[in-house]
Structure 1
Amino acid sequence: MILAVGRALAEVIRRLGQPVVIAEMLTGFVLGPAALGELFPQWIGAVFPVSGIGGLQALGEIGLALFMFVVGAELCLPSSAPRGARLASTLVGTLSIAVPALLALAIAPLLFSYAPVGVAFWPFALFFSLAMATTAVPVMAHMLKERGQVNSDAGMISLSAATLGDVFVWLSLPLVLGIAKAKTDLAGATGTIMGLLVLVAIAMLLVRPLVATRWSRAPAGKVGMGTIGALLAGALTFAAITDWLGLHSVFGALLFGLCLPRDKRLLAALEDAILPISALVLLPCFFAVAGLNTTGDGFRGVGPVLILVLMVAIIGKLAGGAMGAKLAGRSWQTAVSVGVLMNTRGMMELVVLKIGYDAGLLSGTQFSMIFIMAIVTTAMTNPLLNLIDRFLRQPEPIGLHAASGSSDVADTTDIEPA
């Protein structure tokens, strides 16, 4: 049922010019208590029997770990981009995190009234700020590819800036979870952070060089099933370790992905081997379980607060991204386009939310509000870009050349580890 509803929604969403990820996110919402439960409450127990939730959650978590492993392997920055583009990416990345995070801190006391009992203010506020600062690189890249704008000035700046932002968010999340844990278990939190630091050291100083050496000896042009199997074992082992440390399994999978060489052949082989089963079968289970955290009660009486969350999310990303691009000397068309692209949250927002919910930092009401924000901000991107192309279109000086003074267009195929 999950897969069938997801495919049906995907067809509708695609015809509306929206990315398929919105349909995937909506599937859990439609089948969950907030939609199906409100219309046909007697059906929820039949669709999601209590005895099956654990198995569904396990499948979803494995799919999410595999997906984040591929994201870690993809996470890279253009190495040959002109200096002007790198400066613009840095400014956009910094401001598109700082502005929404600060605005989120300003309204955090209002949302804290909906927090679960026993949660301290600062762990919640820091997590909420990170959630509002998240951008979805995979969804953004897919949108730009469909529009033929991956190598545009706005596209390159946004992708690089979003990558910087993702690195910051995924490095900060474990620390925020550690702070939250320290409120109730200081010794346990200290052990978690120390264990994570040891794992990062092992990954960067031992595993990464070892994988690079083994990969350099692999036959040119071939990625065998033995290699894929070994890498999958490594990713799931790291995922199990971070889960054992009291953090979410996605951190370990992402960390192992960062250990891999930035090589197109390897990435293509991983995507071919992992994404079909992960994205098409296992991840929908994750979306379905996430949708069970949304409730109809979560939207009653919170209309003004939900509108405020939407305003902070949208204004923070638009203003931060556009300000960064303007400070780097870009035109208004490019600056506004960058701000719109940085407002794309997609699945990454849902992953961050699920981590916070599982850690007890979010209530069902808070989860529901931020869940809706993620869908709305992602759905806004394509229509707003179309409006910009229609009303703000103007000739760029020479695209990237103007900022760099170079006659060579940046080659985004050369990459370096983030």
Structure 2
Amino acid sequence: MELLLQLAIILVASKIAGDISVRLGQPSVLGKLLIGILLGPAVLGIITETTTLEQISQIGVILLMFIAGLETDLNEFKRSGKAATYVGLNGIIVPLLVGYGTGIVMNMSTVESLFLGLLLSATSVSISVQALKELNKMQSKEGSTILGAAVIDDVVVIIALAFLMSMAGGDVNLSMVIVKKVLFFGGAFFVAWKVVPWFLKRFVSLKVTETVITAALIICFLFAYAAEITGVAAIIGAYIAGIAISLTDYKNEVFEKVETIGFSIFIPVFFTSIGVKASFDGIGQHLGFMVILSIIAILTKLVGAAIGAKMARFSWNSSLAIGAAMVSRGEVALILATIGLETKLITQELFSILVVVVLVTTIVTPPMMKYFFKKGENQKLIKNQLRKQA
């Protein structure tokens, strides 16, 4: 029964906080993240992290990325391949090098320093996806580039982590890690091309209610599960599933119903749960290091990804907006940090610091995105007005 009360509190609080955030000129997702901190153990302690809430949260982020896939313009996505590669790789190289150097300066071991660099190289666009939706940029060239870069980032960082763990003496078969990734993407693309349309047509013919949305969710969850067990993030599997269904005649019906299901309960729980995870125990002892590391985390991803976007001939404002969207480390970095702790690549003390840094990067991403996207739009308006006057 306590779960029902917590869900009711989360839904009320997240919607009100999101509304306040919008009224203050910020994306609603920012308010949802902050209200999670307020409600969680770090402040009021009204909401506590439980296994059930975590599972609901996982469904939320999977549905969010599934919706992103449904909204993706595949032709634009293909055209953005080169730009996504530049953004993804530059967004890894710069944080990796600076993170490693920071670790060495802070007297960390070589392994800890490399892991710090890898963790700062990770990105999670689940928060950025919501901001893109609110800014009407999901189907833009920038949106496609951001999503493509996130896929590249995830694959490269996971493989690099496996390589580091094998170097550190962990029981990791690097070749098997790579083979699993190849099998997943090869299998996922084949299933999306041949099996998904066939399955949808057969399943919707069943003489029961809501067969279309049920079939779509089955596809979404199976793709997410396959991604997870092959070492690719579940959100990438869900995103590919969304793209697969977007190429069928059922796209609009699936989108409308999944959006209703997702944003009514699961997605608000996901956003709020990120804040609930916040813990500021012992923060005073390492406050200076946390501030420095947070600044490094923000700037390295922002600058690295922006340079990649500029190499792909985006304007500076669009490049910085793309860089801002890549700043959030979100649940991907939290998963990596947990792996690092469990395999003793990092200490408990460093783990606690990294959790706060990840939270900071997640919170600053939506307002940064809005600032750079709006700045770019305003400059375009000014240029158009000057042309008309001329």
What TM bracket, shorter-length normalisation?
Answer: 0.7 to 0.9
* Aligned match for 2:135, one of 118, 121, 144: 144
Shift of 1:366: 0.7
Which residue pairs with 1:226 in the alignment? 211
Q: 1:391 & 1:74 partners in 2: Cα distance?
A: 27
Q: 1:80 & 1:315 partners in 2: Cα distance?
A: 25
Alignment of 1:299-314 (within 5 A): 299-300=283-284, 301-303=286-288, 305-307=290-292, 309-310=294-295, 313-314=298-299
Q: Deviations over 1:233-292 (max 9, x none)?
A: 2322333344445665434433433443535x5333222222223233123333344334
Residue 30 in structure 1 maps to residue 38 in structure 2: yes
Shift of 1:372: 0.9
Q: 1:218 & 1:54 partners in 2: Cα distance?
A: 32
Q: Give the conservation status (yes or no) of the 8 Å contact 1:28–1:288.
A: yes
Alignment of 1:14-413 (within 5 A): 14-36=22-44, 44=45, 47-48=47-48, 53-79=50-76, 93-109=84-100, 110=102, 121-131=113-123, 138-145=129-136, 156-176=140-160, 178-179=162-163, 182=166, 183-187=169-173, 191=176, 193-213=178-198, 225-245=210-230, 248-263=233-248, 266-297=250-281, 299-300=283-284, 301-303=286-288, 305-307=290-292, 309-310=294-295, 313-314=298-299, 316-317=301-302, 320-321=305-306, 324-325=309-310, 328=313, 334-345=315-326, 349-360=329-340, 363-386=351-374, 394-395=382-383
Q: Give the conservation status (yes or no) of the 8 Å contact 1:140–1:159.
A: no
Q: 1:252 & 1:375 partners in 2: Cα distance?
A: 25
DSSP 3-state at the match of 1:11: helix
Structure with bigger RCO (C-alpha 8 Å, 6+ apart):
1
Shift of 1:13: 0.2
Q: 1:251 & 1:80 partners in 2: Cα distance?
A: 15
Q: Deviations over 1:369-417 (max 9, x none)?
A: 1221222232133345555666786426999xxxxxxxxxxxxxxxxxx
Q: Give the conservation status (yes or no) of the 8 Å contact 1:65–1:249.
A: yes
Q: 1:326 & 1:73 partners in 2: Cα distance?
A: 28
Any gaps of 5 or more consecutive residues in structure 1? 37-43, 400-418
Q: Give the conservation status (yes or no) of the 8 Å contact 1:134–1:345.
A: yes
Identity %: 19
Q: 1:232 & 1:113 partners in 2: Cα distance?
A: 48
Shift of 1:53: 0.6
DSSP 3-state at the match of 1:186: coil
Larger mean CA deviation between 100-109 and 318-327 belongs to 318-327
Relative to 1, partners in 2 of residues 1:312 and 1:60: Cα closer, same or farther, differing over 3 Å?
A: closer
DSSP 3-state at the match of 2:281: helix
DSSP 3-state at the match of 1:296: coil
Q: TM-score, normalised by structure 1?
A: 0.70
Shift of 1:323: 7.3
Q: Give the conservation status (yes or no) of the 8 Å contact 2:184–2:230.
A: no
DSSP 3-state at the match of 2:56: helix
Relative to 1, partners in 2 of residues 1:179 and 1:253: Cα closer, same or farther, differing over 3 Å?
A: farther
Shift of 1:23: 1.9
Relative to 1, partners in 2 of residues 1:374 and 1:62: Cα closer, same or farther, differing over 3 Å?
A: closer
Residue-pair matches, total: 363
Q: Deviations over 1:309-365 (max 9, x none)?
A: 33552465357536744873x7xxx4224423531358x642323332443467232
**RMSD (Å), alpha carbons:** 4.2
Q: 1:271 & 1:395 partners in 2: Cα distance?
A: 36
Bigger fraction of residues in helix? 2
Q: 1:118 & 1:80 partners in 2: Cα distance?
A: 38
Shift of 1:58: 1.6
Letter aligned with residue 171 of structure 1: V
Q: 1:335 & 1:118 partners in 2: Cα distance?
A: 35
Q: TM-score, normalised by structure 2?
A: 0.74
Q: Give the conservation status (yes or no) of the 8 Å contact 2:200–2:216.
A: no
Relative to 1, partners in 2 of residues 1:180 and 1:294: Cα closer, same or farther, differing over 3 Å?
A: farther
Q: Give the conservation status (yes or no) of the 8 Å contact 1:157–1:338.
A: no
Q: 1:251 & 1:323 partners in 2: Cα distance?
A: 21
Q: Give the conservation status (yes or no) of the 8 Å contact 1:350–1:371.
A: yes
Any gaps of 5 or more consecutive residues in structure 2? 1-8, 342-349
Which residue pairs with 2:6 in the alignment? none
* Aligned match for 1:3, one of 1, 7, 11: 11
